[in-house]
C-alpha cells in the first residue's frame, strides 16, 4: 500500500515540478554550453519580436520585455515540454487589442484591463490544464485552425501598412473598412 502511495506522490511531483527530472543532466559541461547558446539565440529573437507584439496589443513596447523573459523562465521550470517555445504570440496580441480597445477609455484603464485579462486567461488555462481539457483542441477541424491563423496573419500584415507607408487612417468599425480607407 505504501509503495502505491509513494508512486502516486512521485507522479504528482513529476507533474507539478518537472524540472526535477532533468536538472541532474546539467552536470555535463557540453550540455550546459549548448543550453546557454540556445538561451542566447532565443533571447536575440524573442526580445524584438515581443516588443513588436506589445505594440500590436496596444501596450508600450517595454511590456513586451516582461512577456519575453518571465514566461520562458517559468515554462523552463514548470513546463511539460523541453521543446515547446513559450512567449508572446501575434494572434494573442491582436486578440488582446481587439478585446480591450472598446473598453478602455485611457491608457491607464487599458493597462489595468490588460492585466485583468492576462490574469483571467491564466486562471482559465490553469483550470484547463488541471482537468486535462487540452484534448478539446482535437475537436477543432484543420480548416478552422488554418482559416483562423491566415485571418490573423492578414489582419496583422494589413494593420502595419499605415506604419510602413507613413499614412494615418481612421479606425473603422471593421478592419477591412480601415484598410479600404
Residues in the chain, overall count? 181
Q: pTM of the full predicted structure?
A: 0.75
Which pLDDT does position 18 carry in this prediction?
A: 75
CB proximity list for 141: less than 8 A, separation 6 or greater: none
Rounded to 10 deg, the angle between the 90-100 and 29-56 helix axes is 30
Residue that the C-alpha cell 491566415 belongs to: 150
CB proximity list for 84: less than 8 A, separation 6 or greater: 75
CA distance 105 to 8: 51
Which pLDDT does position 173 carry in this prediction?
A: 78
Strand, coil or helix: what is 59?
A: coil
Q: Which of 111, 91, 17 is nearest to 103 (CA)?
A: 111
Where the chain has pLDDT below 70, the residues are: 1, 4-5, 8-12, 14-15, 80, 82
CA distance 31 to 37: 10
pLDDT 10s digits, 31-70: 889 888 988 998 888 999 999 999 989 999 999 998 888 8
For the chain, give every domain's residue range. 2-139
Burial of 135 (0-12, 13-18, 19+ CB in 10 A): exposed
Amino acid at each position: 500500500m505504501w509503495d502505491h502511495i509513494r508512486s502516486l506522490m512521485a507522479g504528482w511531483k513529476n507533474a507539478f515540478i518537472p524540472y526535477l527530472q532533468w536538472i541532474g543532466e546539467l552536470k555535463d559541461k557540453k550540455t550546459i554550453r549548448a543550453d546557454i547558446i540556445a538561451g542566447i539565440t532565443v533571447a536575440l529573437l524573442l526580445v524584438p519580436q515581443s516588443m513588436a507584439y506589445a505594440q500590436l496589443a496596444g501596450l508600450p513596447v517595454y511590456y513586451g520585455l516582461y512577456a519575453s523573459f518571465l514566461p520562458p523562465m517559468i515554462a523552463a521550470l514548470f513546463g511539460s515540454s523541453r521543446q515547446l517555445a513559450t512567449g508572446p504570440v501575434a494572434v494573442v496580441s491582436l486578440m488582446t487589442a481587439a478585446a480591450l480597445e472598446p473598453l478602455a477609455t485611457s491608457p491607464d484603464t487599458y493597462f489595468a484591463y490588460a492585466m485583468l485579462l492576462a490574469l483571467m486567461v491564466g486562471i482559465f488555462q490553469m483550470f484547463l490544464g488541471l482537468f486535462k481539457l487540452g484534448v478539446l483542441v482535437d475537436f477543432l477541424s484543420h480548416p478552422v485552425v488554418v482559416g483562423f491563423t491566415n485571418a490573423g496573419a492578414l489582419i496583422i500584415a494589413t494593420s502595419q501598412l499605415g506604419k510602413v507607408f507613413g499614412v494615418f487612417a481612421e479606425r473603422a468599425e471593421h478592419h477591412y473598412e480601415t484598410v479600404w480607407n
